[in-house]
Amino acid sequence: MKPQRSFGRGTRTLTAGAVAVSAALLLAACGSDDNTKAGGESGAKPSGDIKCGSDGKLLASGSSAQKNAMDKWIADYMAACPGVQINYNPIGSGGGITQFNQGSTAFAGSDSALKPEEVEASRKVCKTGQGINLPMVGGPVALGYNLPGVDDLTLDAPTIAKIFDSKIKKWDDPAIQKLNPDAKLPSTEIQAFHRSDESGTTQNLGQYLSASAPDEWKYDAEKSWPAKGGQSASGSSGVASQVKQVEGAIGYFELSYATSNDLTSVKIDTGAAEPVEATTDNASKAIAAAEVVGEDKDLSLELDYATKADGAYPIILVTYEIVCDQGNPEKSLEAVKSFLSYTASEDGQSLLADEGYAPLPPEIAAKVREVIPTLS
């Protein structure tokens, strides 16, 4: 089946294995590109050398899926560069793009690439350029569930689609029992939780269901939840919190939220030899097959959500940092370049696995590192 496509024009193929907030920006012009500092007022020891940008305040918002990674990066960066204060508000991908295109933030995080109309809107704030997509964080979208006595659960795409479309209503439904013949499934009502805010994670789940269960999932893959029924919560943290509290619940969120809430995640029957677990390594196997479909400095990706490769977890996302290729405010430019250079660096990417994310594959990481210094 043809993989779902992120918005972009040209195509460049990667080899396998490749892969907060309404306020004005306040950046005072001081410091230097070559001002490398170690440690900081907090006494924290940053990972490797970080070349600090201009001192001041840097505002960003967007994807909640990358919040745990962003928290770690910001702590490391501010320890090395105490003159820079970074505030990232995880309001969801849609909100982040809106704030970026209003000129309220220096960059946005989004779990899906900019749409053509969003690129066009970005030209007003970027002035001489436009918003581009820089992939920074990869990982699996886990389906966490709360079903006491069931510690091992396998689902396939058609069954997942029917659960989130309110067509399978109880945990002992024959379709679920067939996939789990040895499990003692209760007749508990299924409580399916989805995002209430506009979310790239929602869009990625929709792309997976559209690609792998087209007969059962008839909705367009958008940031807003499309189906009727179910329950909603704000942000990945909100959905995970609700799943943890409600017996019979299931929801979708980035893997680190499942881990931090002690939630068991569903294995996916993709048609491969064995059901696939939601792990960073298994997500990396799927992300490795991505193609760059952006043009020029834009690095938006095409992901294969219908993969049947052994050990490749199919419900994946890549979070982009969205920034102007040209026309960035002079007062914030050096700090943006400095911080994003750190997040894309080997040191920055090396932190991701411990936080439940998949580091970018080498080839795509190298492309991101080439683009960041050219931002103007």
Pairing, β 291-292 against β 249-254: unpaired
The answer to whether residues 132 and 176 belong to one domain is no
pLDDT at 217: 98
**Structural domain boundaries enclosing 51:** 12-138+319-374
Q: Give the DSSP letter of residue 353.
A: G
The answer to whether residues 134 and 148 belong to one domain is no
pLDDT at 354: 87
- The domain that holds 363 is classified in CATH as 3.40.190.10
Closest by Cα among 164, 166, 238 to 197:
238
DSSP 159-171: HHHHHHTTS--BT
In the structure encoding, which two tokens stand for residue 111, read together? 């779990």
The answer to whether residues 212 and 337 belong to one domain is no
Pairing, β 35-37 against β 267-269: unpaired
The answer to whether residues 84 and 162 belong to one domain is no
CB within 8 Å of 185: residues ≥ 6 apart? 147, 150, 171, 172, 176, 177
CA dist., res. 311 & res. 334, Å (int): 41
Q: Is 80 helix (H, G, I), strand (E, B) or coil?
A: helix
Residue 274 lies in a domain: yes
pLDDT at 48: 54
Residue spans of the chain under pLDDT 50: 1-47
The answer to whether residues 333 and 266 belong to one domain is no
Count structural domains, the chain.
2
CA dist., res. 306 & res. 158, Å (int): 12
The answer to whether residues 233 and 262 belong to one domain is yes
The answer to whether residues 234 and 323 belong to one domain is no
The answer to whether residues 146 and 279 belong to one domain is yes
CA 247 from centre of chain: 27
The answer to whether residues 19 and 93 belong to one domain is yes
The answer to whether residues 157 and 192 belong to one domain is yes
